[in-house]
Amino acid sequence: MWTMLVGMMTWFFFLGFLIAWKIAFTAGFYFAARRNKMKTVHWTVAGLLLDIWTLIPYFYAKKKMSSSVKCGNCGAMPSPQDSFCTLCGTKLEKYDDGRTAVRFLLAVGGAYVAFVATGTLLSFIFSL
């Protein structure tokens, strides 16, 4: 009786930890994307579905975004750390369109579908 109770408590503790982990990662990606002027929906969904694996494309997109700032007024390419255009003085807005997150989700989703389809096909072949 006690072993079953301890087993159930352990299971609920583990399940609670997993739920807290998901909430923390999802909220972290949402707030980080919002702070860096990135598409919050794309990065939140990626964080929710793929957890820690989303860090790689996130930092890639953040680096790519910071290195490709372009003035919307005159078209000049100031340095990434500038807040204002060096030619015309316009305030620079860094923006991510979310393509990196969507591409990453599609690639991982496609790999998952291919993996499941291959496993299903192989199990069908070897069951004959």
- Phi–psi pair at 91, nearest 5 degrees: -70, 130
- Phi–psi pair at 84, nearest 5 degrees: -130, 150
- The Cα diameter of the chain in Å comes to 76
Domains held by the chain: number: 1
Q: Decide: 76 and 88 in contact? Cβ < 8 Å.
A: yes
Would you say residue 107 has pLDDT above 70?
A: yes
User: For 110-118, what is the mean pLDDT?
Assistant: 88
Could you give the CA distance from residue 13 to residue 116 in angstroms, rounded to a whole number? 30
pLDDT tens per residue across span 58-81: 888 877 776 666 777 777 777 766
Q: Which domain holds residue 93?
A: 2-127
Question: pLDDT value at position 97?
Answer: 63
Q: Is 112 helix (H, G, I), strand (E, B) or coil?
A: helix
pTM above 0.85, yes or no: no
Question: pLDDT value at position 118?
Answer: 92
Q: Outline where the chain has alpha helix (H).
A: 2-35, 40-50, 55-67, 99-127
